[in-house]
Amino acid sequence: MTGGCQCGAVRYEFRGPPVGLFVCHCRECRHQSASAFGISVIVRHEGFRAEGETRHWERDTDTGRRLRCVFCPACGSRLWHENVPPEETISVKGGSLDTPVDLTPAVHIWTSRKLPGVVIPPGAPQFPQEPD
């Protein structure tokens, strides 16, 4: 799969199927996406490759981890997140993919913070916070 930033200065690709798909309703994901939730496509770090200049900033998460947030310095598009220190997987931001992702199998997390009026599909797996 391929994707990139809004202006096209950064492009990425990953090989192999995603290992997870999450719709996150936490405040941080709402802020970074400027929307009602964030979409995270979890992929193996070893199959991920990016081209173009990126920048990042780091923040602590509600679960006590440290997160590196990678974005395009030209247009500001958020592209992926990775744990610090790096782990086996990274979280590609779903809106940056060239082909839209099907959210049908997505796991909804931080539903305790979802916006009023957001409807989670019946039967979708969901957690009030981040699952272990």
The three-state (H, E, C) secondary structure of the chain, written as one string: CEEECCCCCCEEEECCCCCEEEEECCHHHHHHHCCCCEEEEEEEHHHEEEECCCEEEEEECCCCCEEEEEECCCCCCEEEEEEECCCCEEEEEHHHECCCCCCCCCEEECHHHCCCCCCCCCCCCECCCCCC
Which has more confidence, 31 or 92?
92
> What's phi and psi for 94, nearest 5 deg?
-55, -35
Going by CATH, does the domain composed of 2-113 fall within 2.170.150.70? yes
Regarding pTM above 0.95, the answer is: no
Nearest CA among 18, 83, 79 for reference residue 44: 18
Question: What's the pLDDT tens digit per position in 61-82?
Answer: 877 889 999 999 999 999 999 9
User: Binning pLDDT at 50, 70 and 90, where does residue 111 land?
Assistant: very high
Extents of the domains making up the chain:
2-113
